[in-house]
Amino acid sequence: MLTGKTILITGGTGSFGKAMLNELLGEDCAAISVFSRDEEKQDAMRGLITDPRVKYYIGDVRDRLSVDAAMVGVNLVFHAAALKQVPSCEFFPLEALRTNALGSANVLESAIARGVQSVVCLSTDKAVSPINAMGITKALMEKIAQSYARRIATSGGGTTISIVRYGNVMYSRGSVIPLFVRQIRDGKPLTVTEPAMTRFMLSLTDAVGLVKFAFAHADHGDIFIRKAPACTIADLVQALKTLFKADNEVRVIGMRHGEKLYETLARREELRGADDLGDFYRLRMDVRDLRYQVYFIEGDTGQAALDDYHSHNAERLSLPEVEQLLLSLPEIRAELARG
């Protein structure tokens, strides 16, 4: 799937974009284009990565012309560019809309116009039954992607557009684990929003594997989910304290703007028609058209037999299992090696 291909990563200087780039460097790709608006991060990446296959493009997904320039000759696109911080999106929802929804439309339209083979769009568990602006705009991104996919599918070919949806990526930029590690190092209280809160735990390696799986197996409009275990924030904090032999105070500060007690990766209505692929779920696109009068007569008699798939009912990690999962992260091992 990747051999000899030119691949574009939007948001290529973010945590996931860098992990995806490093993975692709081990493949026999012809070229990898990194697209982002962050000049400083691109310059730092150029200093670290000297592989001649890597090309850099300064641009913004909000600007269709800059996207078009980066899309020339591209075979595969991984679209990761987004505003991802829940609090900032809450205060600036129009900015989230412009990047996450309208910017995604620019990427998709450009890819279709250039005859790109496949586009995989990055989504989040926050897009399922969203209550915050980040989740709402990501849910809208999913709908926009599937609207293009539906149009292409009915015309009989063209660019394959799919979506990957996952929860928290451990030790990604802005996530809670590096924050807790810094607080432990600085001897400060560990600030916990709600100890009973649960989150899916996924490594960057598993997240990258999900994208590669989508490139290899996607049909028009598919949403792929990687099954992941979950843990409580209380257990995550305790596991970190145990590993670092820390006795920091734990201070409960209350939930932030737009936070949920648990996150959902798939609604039961989606799971009803899903394919269980072992480590993954494939959620099929709704292919019904606009002739709704049919459903006033025939309807859909099927009932969802499953519950939502969320971090409160997913596989729950025990405290020792959380510790082992943390030890699998190279960043945690590096921190522990510092003593």
Compute the distance between CA of residue 141 and CA of residue 120 in angstroms, rounded to an integer.
Answer: 12
Over the range 239-266, which residues count as b (16 or more CB within 10 Å of their CB) and which as e? bbbebbebebebeeeeeeebbbebbbbb
Taking alpha carbons only, the member of 239, 261, 237 closest to residue 250 is 237
- For residue 91, what are the contacts with CB-CB under 8 A and spacing of at least 6? 257
- Cβ burial, residue 92 (10 Å; 0-12/13-18/19+): middle
Compute the distance between CA of residue 61 and CA of residue 260 in angstroms, rounded to an integer.
Answer: 28
Q: How far is CA 64 from the centre of its chain?
A: 22
Compute the distance between CA of residue 297 and CA of residue 306 in angstroms, rounded to an integer.
Answer: 26
- SS in 3 state form for 242-288? HHCCCCCCEEECCCCCCCCCCCEEECHHHHCCCEECCCEEEECCCCC
Q: Quick check: is 138 catalytic? A: no
Question: Which residue among the candidates 126, 138, 212, 260 is catalytic per the annotation?
Answer: 126
List the catalytic residues.
126
